[in-house]
Structure 1
Amino acid sequence: MSGTAGIFYPGTPKPVDPARIAMMLDALAHRGPDGAGVWTGSGVGLGHRRLATIDVAGSPQPMQAGALTITYDGAIFNFAELRAELQEKGARFATSGDAEVLLHGWHAWGAGLLDRLIGMFAFAIHDADANTLTLVRDRLGVKPLHYVELSDGAIAFASELKGLLVHPLVRREVDVRAVDDFMALGYVPDHACIVAGVKKLPAAGLLHLERGRPIPAPRRWWDIDFTTRATGSPRELEAELVDRLRSAVRCGMVADVPLGAFLSGDLDSSAIVALMAEASPRAVKTLSLGFEKAASAHAVAERFATDHRRGSPVQDDLSLIDNLVAAFDEPFAEPSAFATYRLSELARGSVAIALSGDGADEAFAGHRRYRLHAIEDSVRSLLPGEMRQTMFGTLGRLCPDADWMPRPLRAKSMFLSLADDGAAAYAHAVGMTTPEARDRLYGDAFRRSLGGYRAEDAVIATMRTAPARTALDAAQYTDMHHQLPGNVLTRVDRMSMINGLELRLPLLDHRLLEFAATLPDRLRIHGGQGKWLMRKAMVPWLPKDILYRPEPTPVSPISGWFRRDLASEAASLSKSPVLGAWFERATLDRLSEDHLAGRADHGLLLWQLLMLDRSVRRMFS
């Protein structure tokens, strides 16, 4: 794990000041406390901040081999096997790490190397002979990479947005479409950025820059396919899943430093700990926070005799707000960031690497919304579109608002969802704030500046073009392209790296995902429970109360915060020059007044507004 930064001139090869690269790296120092390096060549400069987890004493970066130079963030879990193959082809290695494997692998196979990699990575590789720079991001987008075209003709890139913002030629101007994205979703997705002109290399993206040629669009070098179905009996598929789970966990344990696991007591983290305990000759180090599943976490720790540490709960952890704003750069409203931060902080006291179960809900259909979407799609198929829209649309308009109830119990939302087509309904299901609520909030000038842009349209487009057989397929595919990189993996990366921790996600091993995508719907969701085959596969390891316990609805303390410690923040939102320029001040006042008086629960919306205000003021003032 590391921080990367660099500058490349695809036109005239102007000199790159090493001090400028160093300045960009300074903004990323938290990503690599174990060392820093800068390299410059003709019209190019690369920089690296290192968090040493493999070949701790060696492998300084940027690293060179012949005409190639690399700066790389990530971990290649099968680097030893690739190294052996390359040595058979004549490659000679000076280090024992994975960065040099990428260099020799690129020399041997070019971009074909990417299909051979197992791991998480974002890297830039410069070829002095060909005068090219290639930027690459891993399949799921676990590791981030931002880039921008500057007014002097250069392309600058960095792991995080803050690494670009220190460059004097980066214009700090808000992209209002990203504001709508954030208000709709609670995060800024990977196809957008709050800073106009800055781009994020997409997951599985490859951007090949060649001197003397126009800057192309990135191309996708991998994608998940839900159109095929696995053959074999449920028992055979279960056995194959166990093999793939075991392989993914063991790959994630490749390290030259102490490692452990986050243990929340749910199915995902418990499965990882079980398989780590099977593979480890020593007690696995596990970490948890005190919260509603703490007893389950403790039971799993005892079952597998782990070296368990438990931290304090995060119910009133308001001291972290400014830390979160600084870590994310862009506004980010997912409340679980608090827990990820505290767990990462706790872990760094004893390990340098931790394995986590994040991503399992997207991989194995664990979200409740998948089950609801599949049921709604079955209902839609029973009625002609026009009849369905008329009947359910009328019922939805007649029902009173019930935003305070859980989503599955909101009759109005259910009827309006059934009136929509499946793609539009799912886009609303993954949202945080509806188009109607945003429309009431936005001022006329801001609405005009959007020019008809609507955040849901990107999700709808992905749903409609997904390589899928069923509604469940399409929903999972869409989440893997939007929710996973923009929300889940952004949270995991920023919260771990701000604490100097490498967090690995074995349940997002691409081989495991490719297999899971072939499972019939009935082996993903069965009897009202998601992750069904995974539950069956873990029967020999885990007790029934963990395997088949319904996933609890997350309980956030945020609504209570805005009636106590953050009450003054809620009341002052309408006075913010940032929010006041975009949103209706009277609406902001009404939201806070109704929430403080207990007439409505606007806690999550108020949290979005607060994070938007603080993030924008920090970045643009």
Structure 2
Amino acid sequence: MCGIAGIFDLNGRREIDRELLGRMNEVQHHRGPDEGGLHTEPGLGLAHRRLSIIDLSSGQQPLLNRDGSVVVTYNGEIFNFKAIRRELEARGYRFRTHCDTEVIVYAWEVWGEACVEKFRGMFAFAVWDRNRETLFLARDRLGVKPLYYAQLADGFFIFGSELKVLQQHPGLPRRVDPRAVEDYFAYGYVPDPKTIYRDVYKLPPGFRLSLRRGRSGFAPEPYWDVPFRVDTTIDEETAKDELVVRLREAVDIRMVADVPLGAFLSGGVDSSAVVAMMAGLSKDPVNTCSISFGDPAFNESKHAQTVAESYHTRHRVEQVDPEDFSLIDRLAGLYDEPYADSSALPTYRVCELARKDVTVALSGDGGDENLAGYRRYRWHTYEERLRGLLPSGLRRPLFGWLGRVYPKADWAPKIFRAKSTFEALARDTVEGYFHGVSVMHDQLRAQVFTPRFRSELQGYTAVEVLRGHAERSPTQHPLSLVQYLDMKTYLPGDILTKVDRASMAHALEVRVPLLDHELVEWISSLPPEFKLKGKEGKYLFKKSMEPFLPDDILYRPKMGFAVPLAGWFRGPLKQTLRDAVLNPVMADSGYFDMDFLKTMVDQHQAGTRDYSASLWSLLMYDSFLRLNA
């Protein structure tokens, strides 16, 4: 994988500061430690850091066409590049390299903005066409690879693979966006296209952006969406067989590399299925790795070992020190903006472990969103059935009242913790799902924030993110709708961001076969009951994998990739938490009711409430503030 950066003069052909462009590039050295390159001409500068994966001896970037009029800087892999290359060669193009980068240059010449629709893979790239005076940027359909951009007050446009790239530019405003803060404390990340700063944006997944010199105004436009057009003619047996064929093909095209390749193996269904497919496609044993935890409640390593032994993989496993908190202060530097998924800690460690043996690793990410694996999908469909039993005029006041009077019982068994369910049932479909996925629910955020900060929001609430996507959703089926919402928010904003930053910190490329867009399109066409059947999530996927994996892998309870935050904050991180959440930097921001934050810390550490996820998000926000002070 790689890192890209650029500076473009929207108004003219002012000289580009090569030293500044070099600093922007070098701050992402970790993304591409093998080589770096700059290209400048009047009004334009492109930069690239390379992690060599295919065609190691050539393919340096930025890469130019034969007459030098088209230049590309590119991060990612286009897995169908050989087929596109053959099509371009039939049109008379002659290639100087064997890498996929050169395909982008000539694809742009032939198809222009539509070139991105030809590509099958994960990518973020920028193409400069001097003859058209156009800078074209694009991001892959599911958002595996990131792309940040900003228009500066002086008419320059800057972009990069990480926010820290843009932060190198002295002209970048760093005004925190209150709406992004509201989003962060609701979701645990800042959803696309926002960033934590008002004037910086992420190009959303499946979007492209064209800028013409001298033309004012520009807006990203979508080129793809998850269709969710259900095929009512397909039967379960046919779908089961086809799923195996399609998954094997998606894995196969991701096994092309000129460097050592392997896979993450957590012991869950998704990663185990990917490893099973790899083993059937490889002549040599597959390199696999997993990490283990001392606490059996968080440990899946024995299940990973079962799969590794079954497929005779070269398996490396290491135990994570349960008292290793050294990464906490590093996370803010990795993610640049507030990011509150605590599984970033073990993800960093498993990427570090994988890099000891391989440069490319396949993962099982995307299976839960794609195939309906999250438990919350089951709860949501259950709540939707209950919502349908009562009219809104009766349901809202009844369950709203029950939600208010029912005691909060974090300490009790789940069956007795009905408060959250009552609160969800008082809401509509989108509000109910938002309530279930929120790190801090509406009432808690209202208590955490100061009146001054709430007034800055001018009535904005984070649920509007989901509402916007729901309005554009191609489906209104209760299950498919929330899958769609997750694919637009949680998948790119949390899951893929986590893996990208953790892997790139170790110069490791991660490929995601379950997010192959052709596979995603096909899965979205399956009847929803093939995905969630009764209480069984990933129903069809598990049935299709029965010939390849044992039942105790396929049908055991889902564990996730969590860390024991609640215990940490009452034990070894007790004082660290207090120092972070209650420090003057947080108070000086003016956003937080410090008395209420102290109440949260006190109640959590006394064991009367479990605020662990909310406190982690506050701790991570403090890290962001201190890093950017």
- TM-score for both structures, normalised by structure 1: 0.97
Match in the other structure for 1:254: 256
**Residues 8 and 43 in structure 1, CA contact (< 8 A), matched pair in contact too:** yes
- Equivalent pairs: percent with the same residue? 45
**Residues 226 and 469 in structure 1, CA contact (< 8 A), matched pair in contact too:** no
Offset at 1:266?
0.7
Correspondence list, 1:402-551, <5 A:
402-404=409-411, 410-551=417-558
Match in the other structure for 1:59: 59
Letter in 2 for 1:315: P
Correspondence list, 1:387-406, <5 A:
387-404=394-411
Moved more, 348-357 or 382-391: 382-391
Query: Do residues 278 (structure 1) and 285 (structure 2) align?
Result: no
Distance 1:131 1:372 in 2: 52
Query: Do residues 310 (structure 1) and 289 (structure 2) align?
Result: no
Deviation per CA, 1:228-277, whole angstroms, max 9, x where unpaired?
A: 33522111111111111011111111111110000011100000000000
Distance 1:554 1:298 in 2: 16
**Residues 435 and 441 in structure 2, CA contact (< 8 A), matched pair in contact too:** yes
SS of 2:470 mapped into structure 1: helix
Match in the other structure for 1:49: 49
**Residues 14 and 42 in structure 1, CA contact (< 8 A), matched pair in contact too:** yes
Distance 1:232 1:601 in 2: 46
Change in CA separation of 1:485 and 1:431 when aligned onto 2, cut-off 3 Å: same
Query: Do residues 211 (structure 1) and 222 (structure 2) align?
Result: no
Q: How many residues align?
A: 620
**Residues 337 and 495 in structure 1, CA contact (< 8 A), matched pair in contact too:** yes
SS of 1:238 mapped into structure 2: helix
Deviation per CA, 1:25-71, whole angstroms, max 9, x where unpaired?
A: 01111000000000011211000000011111110000000321000
Correspondence list, 1:95-174, <5 A:
95-174=97-176
Match in the other structure for 1:575: 583
Moved more, 170-179 or 253-262: 170-179
SS of 2:132 mapped into structure 1: coil
Distance 1:60 1:553 in 2: 39
Q: 75, 81, 84: which one pairs with 1:82?
A: 84
Distance 2:470 2:322 in 1: 36
Q: 591, 594, 600: which one pairs with 2:609?
A: 600
Change in CA separation of 1:409 and 1:139 when aligned onto 2, cut-off 3 Å: farther
**Residues 409 and 609 in structure 2, CA contact (< 8 A), matched pair in contact too:** no
**Residues 4 and 25 in structure 1, CA contact (< 8 A), matched pair in contact too:** yes
Change in CA separation of 1:322 and 1:406 when aligned onto 2, cut-off 3 Å: farther
Task: Identify unmatched segments of 5+ residues in structure 1.
Answer: none
Give the CA RMSD over aligned residues.
1.4
Q: 219, 222, 239: which one pairs with 1:220?
A: 222
Letter in 2 for 1:221: Y
SS of 1:318 mapped into structure 2: coil
**Residues 285 and 314 in structure 2, CA contact (< 8 A), matched pair in contact too:** yes
Change in CA separation of 1:222 and 1:570 when aligned onto 2, cut-off 3 Å: same
Match in the other structure for 2:296: none
Change in CA separation of 1:227 and 1:360 when aligned onto 2, cut-off 3 Å: same
Offset at 1:612?
0.2
Distance 1:457 1:382 in 2: 26
Q: 369, 385, 394: which one pairs with 1:362?
A: 369
Q: 579, 601, 609: which one pairs with 2:618?
A: 609
**Residues 10 and 215 in structure 1, CA contact (< 8 A), matched pair in contact too:** no
Letter in 2 for 1:329: D
**Residues 585 and 625 in structure 2, CA contact (< 8 A), matched pair in contact too:** no
Distance 1:421 1:177 in 2: 22
Distance 2:211 2:96 in 1: 28
Distance 1:297 1:575 in 2: 42
Offset at 1:409?
5.2
SS of 1:47 mapped into structure 2: strand
**Residues 343 and 562 in structure 2, CA contact (< 8 A), matched pair in contact too:** no
Distance 2:476 2:286 in 1: 40
Change in CA separation of 1:76 and 1:230 when aligned onto 2, cut-off 3 Å: farther
Query: Do residues 177 (structure 1) and 179 (structure 2) align?
Result: yes
Deviation per CA, 1:359-391, whole angstroms, max 9, x where unpaired?
A: 110011101111111111112122222122232
SS of 2:95 mapped into structure 1: coil
Match in the other structure for 2:327: 320
**Residues 423 and 460 in structure 1, CA contact (< 8 A), matched pair in contact too:** yes
